[in-house]
Amino acid sequence: MDLHIEEVNRLFKERYQSKPIIVVSPGRINLIGEHTDYNEGFVLPAAIDKAILVAIQKRDDNKVCLYAMEYGEEHNLTLDKVEKTTMHWPGYILGIVDQLQKRGFPLQGFNLILGGNVPIGAGVSSSAAVECATVFALNELFGFGISKLDMVKIAQKAEHDFAGVMCGIMDQFASMFGQENKVISLDCRSLEYEYFPIEMTGLKIVLLDTNVKHSLASTEYNVRRQQCERGVAMMQQKYPAVKSLRDATIEMLDECVKTEPLIYKRCKYVIEENIRLQKACKYLAAGDIKNFGKKMFEAHDAISKEYEVSCKELDYLVDQVREDDAVLGARMMGGGFGGCTINLVKEEAIPALVKRLSGIYKEAMGLDLKHYVIAIKDGTHRVQ
Ligand code: GLA
């Protein structure tokens, strides 16, 4: 992964006359288990070979000077005035600063350069990667001794407060805890996790990027979360032990939520997605990628029809690979309303697949298709 460390060092020296600490934090994929994390369910993510980079060094005053290489933009402030800005990217960094301040960590001023190669808006969670890189870098710089799990929680809260997305814990967890060539089987209730080696001889994970990010994404995300909570509240009246959809069954849903068809559909999807993931994990453990792939297609249909967070571009890309022998499984990935589909593809067939899809996608949607062949890598770490 080419992160241009030398260029970052040169730029840092030029702007701030010092040598920085450098931390990288990857984007993530998720094989199956979508919109289950905030319902205390299961997910199966991994960190990828595209990462955000944060270069950082202390200052003698209480200023915070930020520079984003991607945009060629800077944003400066003082530590007594950490507020949201109209610019997008500083929010993820300042959200972390705000969380650290609220928890009483003694920050001083710092200079920070943001770089890296995670595609923005592609649904691989560049925002979580920025948050994790920032909290890790500040922890290194000031020696706060914060544990990795607490850093994950700080990063998630930063997203809630500064980006306004009431996300679950998956993205930040995967970015921080990723391990090369392994997926993470994470229980989002207990936060117990296990690394799963994935053996996919002859296959690659290919992300097909719709190149759209519909503006609905963050508002609808929060609406889904509320709909799930509403379903839980309805079931709780009869079954007080139901604390989240993790505890619910289809029988309980039938009994308590039938009167509200929309809420019913949303909850049904989540309950079944957890079951689907567990079956899929068994296939993965047995090396049965074919059946694992089938579960991915099933998951897509359910999230599209019942949870309704897909969009025509994502559905189109999944539909176009259903009958393709080179593709074992495909589904939309992440929050939805744009971003990528994740595909398990026979390696030798990738160029032809991409060629075929690029042509028809352009014709059908008027958009260019991007693609990324992904490798699974280590989570957040210091490189300098
Ligand atoms: C976004 C959120 C995650 C998760 C996914 C959907 O990526 O940040 O917490 O809910 O959507 O699975």
Share of the chain above pLDDT 90, in %: 93
d(CA 325, CA 290): 11
Give, in degrees to the nearest 5, the angle at Cα 255 between 254 and 259. Answer: 75
For helices 350-365 and 312-319, what crossing angle results, to 10°? 140
* Residue 3 pLDDT exceeds 90: no
* Residue 2 pLDDT exceeds 80: no
- Tell whether ligand 1 has an atom less than 6 A from the beta carbon of residue 34: yes
167-189 confidence digits (pLDDT tens): 999 999 999 999 999 999 999 99
Which pLDDT value is given to residue 233? 98
Which pLDDT value is given to residue 48? 98
Q: Report CA(201)–ligand 1 centroid distance (Å).
A: 28
- Tell whether ligand 1 has an atom less than 6 A from the beta carbon of residue 273: no
Using alpha carbons, select from 76, 49, 9 the residue that is nearest to residue 375. Answer: 49
In sequence order, the 6+-apart residues with CB closer than 8 A to the CB of 364 are 316
* Residue 129 pLDDT exceeds 80: yes
267-296 confidence digits (pLDDT tens): 999 999 999 999 999 999 999 999 999 999
- Tell whether ligand 1 has an atom less than 6 A from the beta carbon of residue 38: yes
Which pLDDT value is given to residue 360? 98
90-99 confidence digits (pLDDT tens): 999 999 999 9
- Tell whether ligand 1 has an atom less than 6 A from the beta carbon of residue 98: no
pLDDT band at residue 252, thresholds of 50, 70 and 90?
very high
Which pLDDT value is given to residue 272? 98
d(CA 314, CA 303): 11
Which pLDDT value is given to residue 253? 98
Which pLDDT value is given to residue 105? 98
Nearest CA to ligand 1 atom 9: 168
Lowest mean pLDDT segment, chosen from 25-29, 119-123, 348-352: 119-123
d(CA 112, CA 76): 10
Nearest CA to ligand 1 atom 1: 335
- Tell whether ligand 1 has an atom less than 6 A from the beta carbon of residue 309: no
In sequence order, the 6+-apart residues with CB closer than 8 A to the CB of 180 are 376, 377, 378
Region of 40 on the Ramachandran plot (φ > 0 left; ψ -120 to 50 alpha; else beta): left
| Helix ranges (DSSP H) in the chain | 5-16, 90-102, 126-142, 148-158, 170-177, 216-238, 250-256, 261-285, 289-302, 312-319, 350-365
Helix (H) or strand (E) holding 65: strand 63-68
Q: Encoding tokens for residue 144?
A: 């706060």
Q: Report CA(33)–ligand 1 centroid distance (Å).
A: 10
* Residue 300 pLDDT exceeds 90: yes
Q: Encoding tokens for residue 73?
A: 């933009």
Q: Report CA(102)–ligand 1 centroid distance (Å).
A: 25
Side chain identity at 141, as an amino acid letter? L
Which pLDDT value is given to residue 328? 98
Q: Report CA(34)–ligand 1 centroid distance (Å).
A: 7
Using alpha carbons, select from 217, 210, 269 the residue that is nearest to residue 245. Answer: 269
pLDDT band at residue 214, thresholds of 50, 70 and 90?
confident
* Residue 160 pLDDT exceeds 70: yes
- Tell whether ligand 1 has an atom less than 6 A from the beta carbon of residue 40: no
Nearest CA to ligand 1 atom 11: 335
d(CA 252, CA 242): 10
Side chain identity at 20, as an amino acid letter? P
- Tell whether ligand 1 has an atom less than 6 A from the beta carbon of residue 334: yes
Which atom of ligand 1 lies closest to the CA of 335? 11
Which pLDDT value is given to residue 306? 98
* Ligand 1 mutation pick, 32, 171, 184, 266, max ligand atoms within 8 A of CB: 171
* Torsion angle of C-alpha atoms 210, 73, 159, 135, degrees rounded to 10: 120
Which pLDDT value is given to residue 1? 63
Q: Which is it for strands 45-58 and 21-30: parallel, antiparallel or unpaired?
A: antiparallel
Half-sphere exposure of 340 (CA within 13 A, CB side): 26
Q: Could you tell me the pTM of the whole model? A: 0.97
Q: Report CA(325)–ligand 1 centroid distance (Å).
A: 29
Which pLDDT value is given to residue 122? 87
Tell me the average pLDDT of the chain.
96
Which pLDDT value is given to residue 198? 83
Average pLDDT over residues 210-229: 92
Average pLDDT over residues 102-110: 98
- Tell whether ligand 1 has an atom less than 6 A from the beta carbon of residue 167: yes
- Counting every residue, how long is the chain? 384
Q: 89-116: string of b/e by CB count within 10 Å (b at 16+)?
A: bbbbbbbbbbbbeeeebebeebbbbbbb
d(CA 258, CA 245): 15
Side chain identity at 380, as an amino acid letter? T
39-65 confidence digits (pLDDT tens): 999 999 999 999 999 999 999 999 999
